[in-house]
Amino acid sequence: MRAACAFFVCLLAASRALALDVQVTDLRAVAATVRATVEVRDVVPDRFKKMLETGNVLHLRLQTELWESRPVWDRLVFPAITRVFRLARAASGGDVSIADAGSSASYPTVPNPLQILVDLGNRDRVTASQKYYVHVVATLGPR
């Protein structure tokens, strides 16, 4: 009986922690900077849409790291770059504004997918002969 109850509680917790669909669509060394293009699909899941529609503010936190893929231990090339985006509907019920510390844009609806360019660091720390990957953690919440 205890095992069944524990399983049920774990199942409820897992259903609340649905992950955002995040994909890295591009990784390039542009000029002197390594830049990643990250797409977040279905940024505002159904359980948060009502909050946004009623005037509450949502925050999308995007943490991005560049790693070098190596045979034994992968190497962190650049420490985490964290950006926080503020999603809010205009008081008149109009456009949705998406803003962070460096930019702001308004849309009639939340774009799907939301495409974000992230400058990871100086290209001096990467070489063409190595393999790299980007690790992204995206969270959405009211604060």
Does residue 130 lie in a domain region?
yes
pLDDT per position as a tens digit, 118-142: 999 999 999 989 999 999 999 998 8
Going by C-alpha positions, the residue among 77, 82, 103, 79 that lies closest to residue 38 is 82
pTM of the model: 0.78
> Do residues 80 and 134 touch, judged by C-beta distance below 8 A?
no
For residue 79, is the peptide bond before it cis, meaning its omega torsion is within 30 degrees of 0? no
Domain of residue 125: give its range.
20-141
pLDDT per position as a tens digit, 28-37: 888 899 999 9
Per the prediction, the chain carries an average pLDDT of 83
Does residue 48 lie in a domain region?
yes
pLDDT band at 22 (very low <50, low <70, confident <90, very high): very high
Give the pLDDT of residue 13: 37
Give the pLDDT of residue 60: 92
SS3 sequence of 89-121: ECCCCCCEEEECCCCEEEECCCCCCEEEEEEEE
**What's the number of domains the chain is made of?**
1
